[in-house]
Chains A and B, each alone.
Chain A
């Protein structure tokens, strides 16, 4: 049985289309990364699953029912934004407040130990640091022993240590059986955590696959070189993206071999040539760039390979 399903879901706010004709299944046991620039529709998709909003058309199902029905949300866990925590309540009270909604909940002390909050239970949440608030917010998602967990930007604003601590906790929860959806615009985070990546852009799903396969299928590479005539590079085919880094031109290309042949053949002056495979970040930028070039109609991965 799948835990949640979007079936041809569209959500409009007035004239603005936030989500356009999205079909998506969330199966048990996976750790899904949802990736996309701000305003791509990630938060809208999550709020539809949380029952906060109704789709304009199409159907959203959670545990086989309507997420707007409170009973369907018994096995759903999600995080508040860190600015949301009620400042005057103590950490223990915030955990008990949220935990009180679930019949079978994780004891406060156990949850606090898991997320490194032991020493903070008596502190008012308004006095916590940014990283402590983040840990508390993520811990709240797990207090009801959920089967589906939605983490919206869980590590935004954390330093490297804080981020890794939180990732470890999320991985342990996932191994204990929770299905986890993580949204992020940190590609490193998705690369580190997720097995499956759903790339959202312009309100549609533009890619949905494993991290490795997205990288392989997109097949983008990065080419760095120096040249005295950078304007002539523009005529070369297959450049998805072009930036300058110091004296270097940094080009994201679909087919590095073909590009280098063209470059040599064109007679353009160049030196310090370096070629390497793309990171998820470059793949993502290439995907969203091409999707927007193709209009809102989406992007067929097969064409790119």
Chain B
């Protein structure tokens, strides 16, 4: 080895190397900075659910003053917040990364793939949490919604679990289409799932046929799952079966689309 190289680290002794956890935080940090630099991109996710609660639920005292209904309304809009956040961050990030060569560049840096996946989940999770907090605050202050701290915690865990199908749907859309198409499709999917899933209007108001369709949607299943976690009561079989089926189907779809994408991009 020449003297010029002596000052440089050797491959065997590369100095201190950031841990996977440090690299996860690094990636999550800059992903969040990038997201917040275009505030309009997050404002919908962060503000819309709380505003919907404030304008559509709080003035209806029949709902707002009933602890059971009010709690269900708060949960519905929390599910909506988590769903729109998961669909948008996964769908748009992936669609954008496919069109921009920054992501392949990051893959040449010495960070294992797991750090980048964990960072995506972490930043999405933090944004989701940030979107739920205003909903819970508005619900707690202006409605009769109520739950013990332990139940709220159970609800958050249930929300995290039921967010998985939405992350995978976002992933599939991100790999299936270009960025501009993804924005439009995600909006349609998001509002469609929100209405049919009973996140805006409670399913008790649905006609029978709509209620039947509703039970097949991941949004309705997520809503029921979180309601049971917070309010207790028996968990109907179609709720957890539905979540598992959606997760399996969308995971398979996301993998197929991911492979097809690699094939096309690298030809």
Query: What is A's interface to B at a CB cutoff of 8 Å?
Result: 13-14, 16, 28-29, 50-53, 63-64, 70-76, 78, 80-81, 83-86, 88-89, 93, 97-98, 100-104, 124, 144-145, 147, 175-178
Contacts and interface: CB of A to CB of B under 8 A. Distances in A.
Given A16-B267, A73-B110, A89-B34, A103 B18 contact: yes
A145 B9 contact: yes
B17 interface: yes
25 contacts: A13-B266, A13-B267, A28-B2, A52-B108, A63-B11, A71-B17, A72-B110, A73-B108, A73-B109, A73-B110, A75-B8, A80-B102, A84-B104, A89-B34, A89-B37, A98-B109, A101-B18, A102-B17, A102-B18, A103-B14, A103-B16, A103-B17, A104-B9, A176-B4, A176-B7
Residue in B9, B11, B37 whose Cβ sees the most chain A Cβ within 10 Å: B11
A50 B34 contact: no
Given A29-B5, A52-B104, A84-B102, 7 more contacts: A16-B267, A74-B17, A83-B101, A97-B26, A144-B110, A177-B5, A177-B7
A105 B34 CA distance: 23
Residue in B9, B22, B33 whose Cβ sees the most chain A Cβ within 10 Å: B9
Contact of B100 (A14, A84, A144): A84
Nearest to A44: B266
A51 B38 CA distance: 32
A294 B253 CA distance: 47
B259 interface: no
A195 B143 CA distance: 75
Contact of B15 (A70, A86, A98, A103): A103
Contact of A88 (B18, B23, B37, B113): B37
Contacts of A73: 108-110
Contacts of A88: 33-34, 37-38
Contacts of A103: 14-18
Contacts of B6: 177
A219 B239 CA distance: 78
B264 to A, nearest CB: 10
B8 A147 contact: yes
Nearest to B4: A177
A98 B23 CA distance: 10
B105 interface: yes
Nearest to B108: A50
Contacts of A89: 30, 33-34, 37
B11 A147 contact: yes
B198 to A, nearest CB: 37
Q: Which 4 A-B pairs have the closest CB atoms?
A: A88-B37, A80-B105, A104-B15, A103-B16
A86 B16 contact: no
Nearest to A176: B4
B245 to A, nearest CB: 34
Contacts of A175: 4
B47 interface: no
Contact of B101 (A51, A74, A81, A104): A81
Contacts of A51: 107-108
Interface string B86-123: 00000000000000111011011111110000000000
A53 B7 contact: no
Interface in B22-51: 22-23, 26, 30, 33-34, 37-38
Contacts of B105: 78, 80-81, 84
B15 to A, nearest CB: 4
Contacts of A80: 101-102, 105
Contacts of B149: none
B11 A101 contact: no
Residue in B14, B15, B17 whose Cβ sees the most chain A Cβ within 10 Å: B14
B207 interface: no
Nearest to B100: A84
A227 to B, nearest CB: 46
Nearest to A88: B37
Contacts of B9: 75, 104, 145, 147
Given A88-B34, A89-B33, A100 B112 contact: no
A280 B14 CA distance: 38
B2 A102 contact: no
B267 A14 contact: yes
Contacts of B107: 50-52
A29 B100 contact: no
B30 A104 contact: no
